[in-house]
Amino acid sequence: MTEVLNGKVLAEQLQNQMRQEVAELAKDDIHPGLAVILVGDDPASQVYVRNKERAAQKIGLHSKVLRLPKTTTQMELLAEIEKLNSDEAFHGILVQLPLPAHINEAVVLDAIDPKKDVDGFHPMNLGNLFAGKPTMIPCTPAGIMEMLKAANIEIAGKNAVIIGRSNIVGKPMAHLLLAENATVTLTHSKTKNLSQVASQADILVVAIGRAAFVTKDFIKEGAVVVDVGINRNAEGKLIGDVAYPEVAPLCSYITPVPGGVGPMTITMLMKQTIEAAKRME
């Protein structure tokens, strides 16, 4: 019987705990603050930022969204980041990606104070993760680890296969699973016999950005399948990178889309903002 890893329910539980923690911190005059910068009018980014705003308000974080026009120059954006770096009211800074084409994402992410980089994308934070000393971790892989642990899924000694090698999901996911003693294979669009490699996985994490790409041929019976993809099909319905109807019956656990990994990503962002505030006091 397949169990669904419901990220929405777990996120709700964790956010309720965080709300209590934030209320306790306020007694010691610690008020975690999150600043989000949105450049331009990308519709998906606007939805993500609204969701982050809602979660911050629910938990009781001090939050601010800086909405800048698409015409904002790189220098203007860097100046805003510098202001937030030195503003003690904010313990977390997040620049919503993607940025307009004329702005260099790497330069912008490097400009965020690593101690306030709650997205975990700064090279210093990625380096700490790879060295086994994580402080700020990319939120999607962090959320996936929380889901696996909450379901008491054993990781040590298991074969874990990741499809997708981005700095945001694939690479940090590999290091987090390695840290829990999984044997990790990191695959991508150029991997030969990809379905055959994936079918050896006890834990399969899919983040390739192609709708319903993973079919039943990729699945070992009883595998744990985590679907990070968010795509729209021809009818405009949100679907993942996994062909859920045919894959789900083969799994021991699977995440749905929507309601799986997404809510946990935002929850980890809130958690890291709270942790940053505690470290800075």
pLDDT of residue 94: 97
* 166 annotated as belonging to a binding site for a ligand: yes
Q: Choosing from 96, 115, 116, 171, which is the catalytic residue? A: 96
Pick the closest to residue 276 from 40, 84, 103 (CA basis).
84
Do 215 and 160 lie in one domain? The reply is yes
* 19 annotated as belonging to a binding site for a ligand: no
Do 146 and 216 lie in one domain? The reply is yes
Domain range for 80: 28-113
93, β-bridge pairs: 35, 117
Do 163 and 104 lie in one domain? The reply is no
Question: What digits encode the pLDDT tens for the residues 73-124?
Answer: 999 999 999 999 999 999 999 999 999 999 999 999 999 999 999 999 999 9
244 inside domain: yes
Do 167 and 252 lie in one domain? The reply is yes
Instruction: Compute the mean pLDDT over every residue in the chain, rounded to the nearest whole number.
Output: 96
The question of whether 158 is a catalytic residue gets the answer: no
Q: Choosing from 115, 116, 117, 119, which is the catalytic residue? A: 119
Q: How far apart are CA 251 and CA 221, in angstroms?
A: 6
* 165 annotated as belonging to a binding site for a ligand: yes
Domains: count for the chain = 2
pLDDT of residue 1: 87
The question of whether 52 is a catalytic residue gets the answer: yes
Pick the closest to residue 16 from 63, 55, 65 (CA basis).
55
Residue 274: band (very low, low, confident or very high) from pLDDT cuts 50, 70, 90: very high
Question: What digits encode the pLDDT tens for the residues 123-176?
Answer: 999 999 999 999 999 999 999 999 999 999 999 999 999 999 999 999 999 999
Segment 235-253 shows an average pLDDT of: 96
* 199 annotated as belonging to a binding site for a ligand: no
The question of whether 96 is a catalytic residue gets the answer: yes
Which ranges in 131-260 belong to alpha helices (H)? 139-150, 170-179, 194-198, 244-247
